[in-house]
């Protein structure tokens, strides 16, 4: 139902979700949601090939659960890192300019997020695009970019 509601907002630029008050195992931040945000728009349970929120430029997730799908999240962010506006237009999604991922109740396996480490250092001169990524684990916030 949450994904269906988001499908009605194709021009949404910023999405911020905090599942702090969600019932146990009822977080809106699911593997299915994250896979729908992939630039291809496909997940295992969908026949739609349109990406969810094609204009999305800022994604902020504050997650308390321990079942977050890190690999799908990394793939989704990589699929939306499109600093070349011409290529982004061909793909049909805007480039993510800000990504914040906060975990309240779990440690982060930094190895899984290594593919994103170069993105926060990358900047294109013609667009000024850069990506900010922050994660936190059981020991507080871990900034990735300065």
Return the structure tokens found at 103.
Answer: 């975990």
Q: 34-91 pLDDT, tens per residue? A: 999 999 876 555 555 688 999 999 999 988 877 889 999 999 999 999 888 899 999 9
59: left (phi over 0), alpha (psi -120 to 50) or beta: beta
Q: For 109, left (φ over 0), alpha (ψ -120 to 50), or beta?
A: beta
Residue 74 and residue 130: Cα distance in Å, rounded? 16
More confident residue, 13 or 109: 13
The predicted pLDDT at position 145 comes to 43
If you average pLDDT over residues 13-17, what whole number do you get?
A: 96
DSSP 66-133: S---HHHHHHHHHHT----HHHHHHHTSPPP-EEEEEESSS---TTTTHHHHTTTT---TTT----EE
Distance from the Cα of residue 60 to its chain's centroid: 7
pLDDT tops 70 at residue 92: yes
SS3 135: strand
Can you give the pTM of this predicted structure? 0.82
- What pLDDT does residue 123 have? 52
> CA 30 to CA 53: how far, in whole Å?
16
| pLDDT at residue 66 in the model | 78
Query: For residue 51, how many other CB atoms are within 10 A of its CB?
Result: 23
The residue extents of the domains of the chain are: 2-143
pLDDT confidence of residue 138: 44
Closest CA to 27 of 38, 17, 42: 17
Question: Mean pLDDT for the chain?
Answer: 80
Give residue 98's pLDDT band: very low, low, confident or very high (50, 70, 90).
confident
């Amino acid at each position: 139902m949450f994904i269906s509601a988001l499908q009605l907002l194709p021009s949404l630029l910023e999405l911020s979700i905090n599942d702090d008050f969600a019932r146990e195992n009822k977080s809106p931040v699911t593997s299915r949601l994250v896979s729908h945000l992939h630039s291809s728009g496909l997940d295992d349970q969908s026949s739609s090939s349109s990406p969810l929120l094609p204009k999305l430029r800022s994604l902020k997730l504050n997650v308390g659960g321990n079942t977050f799908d890190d690999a799908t999240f990394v793939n989704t962010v990589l699929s939306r890192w499109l600093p070349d506006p011409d290529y982004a237009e061909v793909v049909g999604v805007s480039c993510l300019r800000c990504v914040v991922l906060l975990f309240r109740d779990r440690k982060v396996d930094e190895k899984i997020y290594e593919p994103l480490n170069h993105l926060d250092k990358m900047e294109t001169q013609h667009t000024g695009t850069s990506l900010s990524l922050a994660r936190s684990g059981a020991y507080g916030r871990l900034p990735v970019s300065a």
